[in-house]
Homo-oligomer: A and B are copies of this chain.
Amino acid sequence: MTTTRVEALSDGVFAIAMTLLIIEIHVPHVDTANASALGQALRQLAPQVVAFVISFLILGTFWIGHHNHFVHIRKANRTLLWLNILFLCTIAFLPFSTAFLAAYWHQPLGGVLYGSNLLAAGALLWLHWVYATAGRRLVSHDLADEVVYSGRRRVEMGLVVYSVATITAFLWPPISLVLFTMMPIAYMLPGRVDRHLEQ
C-alpha cells in the first residue's frame, strides 16, 4: 500500500477543519441605521477571531508535522491507517473545541477542553511516528537515528506545552490562551528537523 491516498484524505480533513473554523463566526445583526453599534458588534467578535487564528495556526503546525512524517514514511499498513484516522478524528473535532474556547475562554472548562483536544491530537501523532519508525517498520531502512529522534522530540515539545496549558487553564484561564498562542510561533522557527530535510 502506498501512502498517496492516506495523504490525500488527510489533506482533505485538514483543509476542511481549517476552513470550517470560520463557520462558527456569525455575522452580527444590528440596526443598520446605527453605525457605531455595528463597530461595537464587530469588536465583540474579537474572541472568536482570535480563536480562529490560533486554531488555524495550530492546525498548520499539526499539518506540517504530519507532512514531515510522510516525507519519510514509505508504505502503509492497516495499523498506520487507523492511527492516522484516529489522529484525523481529533483534528476534525477541533472546530468544536475552538468555538467552545471562543465562548468560554474566561472559564477553566474552555481551555481544558481545547488543551485536551490538542493533547489527544499530539499523542496520536506521536504514536503514528513511533509506530512507523520502530525497527524502521514503514520507513527507509537507512533512515538516520537523528531524524527519528528529532521528529519525535518535536512532537513531544508540543505535548509538554499543551499539558502545561491545560493545567494552567484550571487555575488562570487567560494565561493558558497565551501558551496556546505561543505554540505555533515556536513551531514556525526552524529546528533540527529542517536541517535534515534540506540535506
A44 at the interface (CB under 8 A from B): no
A140 at the interface (CB under 8 A from B): no
Closest to A91 in B: B19
Are B99 and A82 in contact, CB atoms less than 8 angstroms apart?
A: no
- Give, as a whole number of angstroms, the nearest-CB distance from A21 to chain B: 7
Knowing A14-B9, A56-B89 touch, does A95 contact B22 (C-beta < 8 A)? yes
Choice from B20, B32, B77, B93 contacting A198 with Cβ under 8 Å: B77
Knowing A82-B188, A85-B57 touch, does A38 contact B107 (C-beta < 8 A)? yes
**Chain B residues within 8 Å of A12, by CB:** 11-12, 14-16, 19
A1 at the interface (CB under 8 A from B): yes
Q: Which of A9, A20, A57 has the most CB of B within 10 A?
A: A9
Choice from B20, B25, B42, B95 contacting A109 with Cβ under 8 Å: B42
With A and B bound together, what is the CA distance between A21 and B64 in angstroms?
24
A27 at the interface (CB under 8 A from B): yes
Closest to A34 in B: B107
A18-51, CB < 8 A from B? 18-25, 27, 29, 32, 35, 38-39, 42
Copies of the protein in its oligomer: 4
Are A78 and B107 in contact, CB atoms less than 8 angstroms apart?
A: no
Are A92 and B38 in contact, CB atoms less than 8 angstroms apart?
A: no
Are A107 and B32 in contact, CB atoms less than 8 angstroms apart?
A: yes
Closest to A100 in B: B27
**Chain B residues within 8 Å of A21, by CB:** 92
With A and B bound together, what is the CA distance between A89 and B52 in angstroms?
9
With A and B bound together, what is the CA distance between A100 and B77 in angstroms?
34
Knowing A27-B100, A78-B190 touch, does A88 contact B39 (C-beta < 8 A)? no
A197 at the interface (CB under 8 A from B): yes
Are A56 and B92 in contact, CB atoms less than 8 angstroms apart?
A: yes
Having A19-B92, A57-B89, A60-B82, one finds 20 other A-B pairs with CB under 8 Å, namely A8-B8, A8-B11, A9-B14, A9-B15, A12-B14, A12-B19, A13-B15, A18-B89, A19-B95, A20-B20, A20-B22, A21-B92, A23-B23, A32-B104, A38-B104, A42-B109, A53-B89, A56-B88, A56-B89, A64-B81
